[in-house]
Chains A and B, each alone.
Chain A
Amino acid sequence: MSESVHTVTTLPTERPSGCPFDPPAQLLDARRHGPISRFTHPGGKPGWMITGYDMVRSVLADPRFSSRKDLMNVVDFEIPPAPPGEFLLMDEPEHSRYRKPLVGKFTVRRMRMLTERIEQITADCLDAMEKAGPPTDLVTAFAKPIPTIVICEILGVPYADRASFQEQIDTFMGGEVSDEELIAAYTATQEYLAQLVAAKRAHPTDDVLSELTDSDLTDEELKGISLILLAAGFDTTANMLSLGTFALLQNPDQLAALRADPALTDGAVEELLRYLSVAKTFHRTALEDVELGGRTVKAGTTVVLSYHTANRDPDRFTDPHTLDVRRQAAGHLAFSHGIHQCLGQQLARVEMRVAFRALIDRFPTLRLAVPAEEVVLRPETADIFGVKSLPVTWDKK
């Protein structure tokens, strides 16, 4: 007789009330029943939800699970393959063809060399905040501009184009706009990137995109790569900075510890990554029948991997729902695992280390300007979790 299988009937849409940093209760409950639960994709197709740390990690390292967009079995209609350059949704060998030329441009050392520049960008944002005076929305004054300027510099977006470019990407990522506006902004961004690639090929400048024109990648592929660097590198870090600040403000003992000891910064960033896991879920599709925890995931079935719940697995992290900036959080899955692990993770780390440090050093009295329950969260259905705005205030010197 087979043991009954826990079922997550649908994608949970709400976080527990008063706990904006925790995964939805249904997912935590699912993990308590075991690492794998039956699940119905929002498009109606049957699948599995994986919530246990070890199982998420092993699926991510298992070549029997595909990342291909066109194999995703979640809706009744066929999904087209990923456009050229969008290697996140490809398997080998296509994935490596795109990732390989990029790897040398995002190394630990090369990203650390950006520290000083990111400090300057951060200081400019903080100066502007200080000049304008409290209260302010931390999302627009701090969390968005820092990663936007950084990715613009990496792609070599000319200074004059930045404001309009930022507005476009803001609209198509996380902006709550009509479908028409969203498509218009997405198309405009695509067109802009196509022009940018052509410009870099004609007149290379000192940036990653120009360097990439010196490879066998076509303009169409470079456009796709630029789009993925933008999509992966901007919204994620922006939401980590705002939600991370919110989490620190809600855990004053942790904020005080971090403020008192700069040596805790790097570890605190890892812990915030684990605790918040803003890129909450990813999909994989089985290429053959795979046994997982006594269940058979049939070939062609798509599984949802809940990184957020896995990063709260008590079998892996003691007291997982506690934010502890002194914790050894290495091994968290916030940047994924396996061959698709985040290409830009070393950049994200430098941005977060610099920005959190500078923010808490600059404003020792930083606090929410509204009650915590009035902070407006992104809907759980958004790909990247976060806050829509974060009203903060501080005592003027």
Chain B
Amino acid sequence: MSAPYLSVDRERCIGAGMCAMTAPGMFDQDPDDGLVLLLHAQPPTALRAAAQMAVGVCPSGAITLHEPEPGGLGAEPQRRATGDEDPGGV
């Protein structure tokens, strides 16, 4: 069974630190270049909402949360990381 997993694109990352601030258990910043470090590719259930929020607040669309397809065949990105996703939650 496949679980949702995260990937990061350090080429797109601008080091704003929004992920490390929003989901500190999941992301950090490299102390040298300030760019994203993915600490856990598979967010534990308790951190899934925070991970989703981090995807939404990333200014450069550098984080993608891949949700498994309902059929279970591979995991396709549920949200395209274009940086214009609204983090939602009012």
Contact = CB atoms under 8 A, between A and B. Distances in A.
Interface of A: 53-54, 57-58, 60-62, 99-100, 103-110, 316-318, 327-328, 330-331, 335-339, 341-343, 345-346, 349
Interface in B1-49: 14-18, 20-22, 24, 28-35
Nearest to B59: A341
Contact of B83 (A61, A108, A316, A346): A61
18 contacts: A54-B86, A99-B14, A99-B15, A100-B33, A104-B15, A104-B29, A104-B31, A104-B34, A106-B17, A108-B29, A327-B90, A330-B89, A331-B89, A336-B59, A337-B59, A342-B16, A345-B16, A346-B17
Interface in B34-83: 34-35, 53, 56-57, 59-61, 82-83
Contacts of B88: 331
B34 A103 contact: yes
Nearest to B29: A107
Contact of B30 (A54, A60, A104): A104
**Size band of the B side of the interface?**
20 to 34
Contacts of B82: 61
Nearest to A62: B84
Contacts of B84: 57-58, 61-62
A211 to B, nearest CB: 11
Contacts of B34: 103-107
Contacts of A316: 86, 90
B56 A107 contact: no
A103 B10 CA distance: 13
B11 to A, nearest CB: 10
Contact of B53 (A57, A108, A330): A330
Contacts of A331: 56-57, 86-89
A328 B89 contact: yes
Contacts of B32: 104
